Structure 1
Amino acid sequence: MRQKTKWSAAVVGLATTGALMVSSGGASSHGYTDLPVSRQKFCQNGTVANCGNIQWEPQSVEGPKGFPAAGPADGQLCSAGLGQFNQLNSPTKPDGGAWPTTKVTGGQNYTFRWQLTASHSTTDFKYYITKNGWNQNRALTRADLELTPFLTVPYSGRPPYTISHSGALPTGKSGHHVILGVWTIADTGNAFYACSDVTF
């Protein structure tokens, strides 16, 4: 009888551990933008070389939610604060030179697209852009961004594995800017971050 009780306790313990792993929203929750193309996608598809681990897991740029009041620290926004993806924070690409950009036009209705490898209950998708005159020679900070998103897409439920939504790009921009996309998860403490370089 004692042996049976120990076995039951072990099963309960394993089940509890499994539930905690599932509910923590760790390695199973993933996504990145490919319209406009994000830095992690350029690393994954080989356009940018010497990116390190991000080339294998562009979907894993996950950090604390609540941006801009909370979230990753300044200088670590593009990596979501994850040291293994620090190459994404550099103002220049790891193999030298400027990050590739997507050409856009101010005021145009643009279709943003995320590729997800896990569909999680979602609060919203938000898009921020750098200010005119932002400092392009350092890792992205809140001071470089307009902290009111130019597009917010509320979402209730689990999105499809490819999700697109449209919205107008800001006017009054020229030259190189960075768009920070934030996908906020409803049932964990995290969000996914993606930096895309664009040219107006």
Structure 2
Amino acid sequence: MKKSSPRLAAVVAGLGIAPLLSAILPASAAHAHGYVSAPLSRQAQCAQRIVECGAIQWEPQSVEGPKGLRSCSGGNARFRELDDDGKGWRVTSVGNTVTFTWTFTARHRTLNYEYYVGDRRVAVVDGHGQQPPATVSHTIGLGGVSGRQKVLAVWNIADTANAFYACVDLEVR
């Protein structure tokens, strides 16, 4: 009878421990949340490889930071590419009213959604402290602006101090 190799023993031991580790360690999906999927936000463009980005390409739903920020990255240094206005973002041509669709991978109770054009808040949509469905759409007036605009969309969570951030580049006709 042939002796088993140390490598085979290590593989067998690893297979035995794997189910235990998966039960103990948090799943990466627990860090997943939500982003604007239409019109394509900057992180959606990264995920679709339209624009070359860093880590955000694998987790477009994870742009989370404290409430009250006004950056595309949500203050998260791992996703700083999202703050770079010169990165070659695809611009969507729209009228002065736009429907933004959020896609959620973890649905938190929602305080509200805010939409900014520049430094001006153009809309607030009450979340009523409810958990949203898998997708939510809001039709928002952009306040009479025209030309190239960057819209910051913010999903404020009801039961934490955090929000999720997404920037969308538009050409408003």
Q: Same fold (TM over 0.5)?
A: yes
Q: Does 1:46 align with 2:40?
A: no
Return the alpha-carbon distance in structure 1 between the equivalents of residues 46 and 86 of structure 2.
13
Equivalent of 1:99, from 71, 77, 89? 89
Equivalent pairs counted in the alignment come to 145
Moved over 3 A (4+): 26-29
Mark the structure with the bigger radius of gyration: 2
Provide the aligned C-alpha RMSD in A: 1.8
Per the alignment, residue 77 of structure 2 pairs with 83
Could you give the per-residue CA deviations for residues 60-88 of structure 1, whole angstroms, max 9, x where no partner exists? 000001x2xxx36xxxx111111111111
Per the alignment, residue 157 of structure 2 pairs with 185
Tell me, what secondary structure is at the counterpart of 1:55?
helix
Return the alpha-carbon distance in structure 2 between the equivalents of residues 150 and 161 of structure 1.
24
CA shift for structure 1 position 117:
0.3
Tell me, what secondary structure is at the counterpart of 1:92?
coil
Could you give the per-residue CA deviations for residues 8-41 of structure 1, whole angstroms, max 9, x where no partner exists? xxxxxxxxxx9xx8xxxx9435100012211000
Per the alignment, residue 133 of structure 1 pairs with none
TM-score (norm 2): 0.78
TM-score (norm 1): 0.68
Unaligned runs of 5+ in 1: 1-17, 131-144
Return the alpha-carbon distance in structure 2 between the equivalents of residues 87 and 122 of structure 1.
27
Could you give the per-residue CA deviations for residues 86-130 of structure 1, whole angstroms, max 9, x where no partner exists? 11111111xxxx311111112x3x221000000101000110002
Return the alpha-carbon distance in structure 2 between the equivalents of residues 40 and 195 of structure 1.
8
C-alpha contact 1:29 1:119 (8 A) present in aligned 2: no
Per the alignment, residue 167 of structure 1 pairs with 140
Unaligned runs of 5+ in 2: 1-23
Per the alignment, residue 158 of structure 1 pairs with 131
Question: Percent same amino acid at aligned positions?
Answer: 45
Aligned pairs for 1:29-68 (under 5 A) are 29-49=32-52, 51-65=53-67, 67=68
Return the alpha-carbon distance in structure 1 between the equivalents of residues 132 and 66 of structure 2.
20
C-alpha contact 2:32 2:59 (8 A) present in aligned 1: no
C-alpha contact 1:123 1:184 (8 A) present in aligned 2: yes
C-alpha contact 1:33 1:114 (8 A) present in aligned 2: yes
